[in-house]
Structure 1
Amino acid sequence: MNVFRKSIDFLIHGSVIVAASVFALVQATTIRMGLPYDPAVSWFAFFGTVVGYNFVKYDAIARAGKPKLSLKMKAFIALSFLSFLATGFFFFRLERFTQIVSVAVLGITALYTLPFFPNRKTARDWAGLKIYFVALSWVGVTVALPVLNSGAALTTDFYVMCVQRFILIVVLLFIFEIIDLAWDDPHLKTVPQQIGVGRTKWLGALLMVVLLALDLLKTHNNESIFWCNIAFGLSVVVCLFFANETRGKYYTMLFVESLTIWWWLAMEWTIR
């Protein structure tokens, strides 16, 4: 059991779970848009997420001083380095325009992580803006990249899905913000800090209703997938209402982040 827990912890802190969530959302986009599986975009998104999230996590540690290179830290460095090589490999298998868009998404991530102006905080410290930078990045990676790389037309379905994905990521981040409420700097002005936990939960539930209602605007629809979306939306809302400051790391970093993986697998099962 100890080995199993350590393995799960490594996958969590090495950003493998969140990368699997991104991979799943890319597949969800291809299914919803009727596109073929695209290994270049899928694995670029997966490995790029590992690199990006590990950089965000451990950049602060590096800035605070030379971190102790424990065996675990060396393993994270090795994982990040191999993921960086894989990201580069799949990047050069993307279409040229997709590469340009991916660089733009990288720019948003860099703005979120690095201070571009002297004596200025990073974008993740800008009051009230953190979740919107993250959501915009996820929309770019999980919706824009697979659609653009396929050469598909940018129909109404594409724009609706962009809005839906943005809403989804914002609501999922509400859960993280509620659980981190005791630790977050008050100057961050997260949604729960500004309107309270109860109102944040009801706002998230309302946004999920809007997300599901937007499905009615899509032309490429499937009844079985629609019910998968309903079940997924309810699962997100349940997780949101059960979120509180006493929840442990496994609640968000394992259980909540795996919801999108189960959503994708459910859709795969329904279309077979």
Structure 2
Amino acid sequence: MKKFRSIFEFYINSSIHVALAVVSLCGMTFLNFDISVEEDLLFFVFFGTITGYNFVKYAPVARLHHRSLEKRLKLIQVFSLFSFLLLIWFSFKIAFEVLLWTGFFGLFTVLYALPVLKRRNLRSVSGLKVFIISFVWAGVTVILPVVSTDFALEFSVWVEFFQRFLLVLVLILPFEIRDLKYDLEQLGTIPQQVGVTRTKILGTVLLVSILILELLKPEFSGNSFAALSITALISAIFVWQARERQSKYYASFWVESIPILWLLILFLIKAF
């Protein structure tokens, strides 16, 4: 049991789980637009997510405690290095235009993590954190899959982009509620500004907005709408059940599993 727990903690802490969530959202884009799946892009996104997330999470820690890193953190560093090398490998297998868009969204990741703007990073700018994360996730999981297949950036793509932006924003809310007692006041997170209850109401309104936006797509699909509706309902439940004192993996495992679940739901609906 102890060994399983260690493996599970590594799975979460090394960002494998969040990487699978991002890849699942890419898969949703391929399915929603009925375009062929680019496997090289999925691997590129998977290893890029691990590299980016671990850079943001662990670079400051490694810089402060380089000589006394605990064993688990060193293992994550090695894993991140291999992920980075595989990211480089797959970057040679995808279209140049995809790399340009990746560089654009990657720039926001760097600005989010490093204090390059007057010794401040974007994360420390009041109220900006949640929008940066949502923007990057939406870009990576909608724009990159579309561009990789030469599919036109038409109206329905931008609707999908905005939906994805809103969904990721909603999925961040349980994290912000959890971190309410730890976040510095100047971060200006949504729960800090409007309170926990209004944050949950906001999340519900955004989920309803996502469903309404789905109706605007010229290529409306009943299967996609059904899968999205179920996912929105599950997301709403998790938002309303979020607490400042929540279980250790409520947000980092269960909430981040929702994109994976969304993909599985769509597969099941299409199968039956």
TM-score interval w.r.t. the shorter chain? over 0.9
**Whole-Å Cα distance in 2 between the matches of residues 40 and 30 of structure 1?**
13
Alignment-derived partner of residue 31 in structure 2: 31
Alignment-derived partner of residue 178 in structure 2: 179
Alignment-derived partner of residue 60 in structure 1: 60
2:173·2:203 contact (CA, 8 Å) conserved in 1?
A: yes
Report the alpha carbon displacement of residue 117 of structure 1 after superposing the two structures with TM: 3.7
**Whole-Å Cα distance in 2 between the matches of residues 43 and 85 of structure 1?**
12
Does 2:233 correspond to 1:234? Answer: yes
Alignment-derived partner of residue 156 in structure 1: 155
1:31-77 CA deviation, whole Å, 9 max, x = no partner?
11111111121111111000000011111212334252332122101
Report the alpha carbon displacement of residue 269 of structure 1 after superposing the two structures with TM: 2.5
2:25·2:259 contact (CA, 8 Å) conserved in 1?
A: yes
Alignment-derived partner of residue 130 in structure 1: 129
**Whole-Å Cα distance in 1 between the matches of residues 179 and 264 of structure 2?**
29
Does 2:115 correspond to 1:112? Answer: no
Q: TM-score, normalised by structure 2?
A: 0.96
**Whole-Å Cα distance in 2 between the matches of residues 205 and 186 of structure 1?**
25
**Whole-Å Cα distance in 2 between the matches of residues 237 and 270 of structure 1?**
21
**Whole-Å Cα distance in 2 between the matches of residues 57 and 44 of structure 1?**
20
Which segments of 5 or more consecutive residues in structure 1 lack a partner in the other structure?
none
**Whole-Å Cα distance in 1 between the matches of residues 127 and 155 of structure 2?**
30
Question: In the alignment, residue 141 of structure 1 is paired with which amino acid?
Answer: V
**Whole-Å Cα distance in 1 between the matches of residues 249 and 74 of structure 2?**
23
Q: TM-score, normalised by structure 1?
A: 0.96
1:32·1:220 contact (CA, 8 Å) conserved in 2?
A: no
2:62·2:69 contact (CA, 8 Å) conserved in 1?
A: no
* Fraction of identical pairs, as percent: 36
**Whole-Å Cα distance in 2 between the matches of residues 82 and 221 of structure 1?**
41
* Segments ≥4 residues shifted beyond 4 Å: none
**Whole-Å Cα distance in 1 between the matches of residues 70 and 193 of structure 2?**
39
Report the alpha carbon displacement of residue 123 of structure 1 after superposing the two structures with TM: 0.8
**Whole-Å Cα distance in 1 between the matches of residues 230 and 240 of structure 2?**
15
Q: CA RMSD in A?
A: 1.2
Alignment-derived partner of residue 268 in structure 2: 269
2:177·2:242 contact (CA, 8 Å) conserved in 1?
A: yes
Which segments of 5 or more consecutive residues in structure 2 lack a partner in the other structure?
none
Moved more, 56-65 or 176-185: 56-65
**Whole-Å Cα distance in 1 between the matches of residues 62 and 78 of structure 2?**
16
1:135-160 CA deviation, whole Å, 9 max, x = no partner?
11101110000001110012221010
**Whole-Å Cα distance in 2 between the matches of residues 107 and 226 of structure 1?**
33
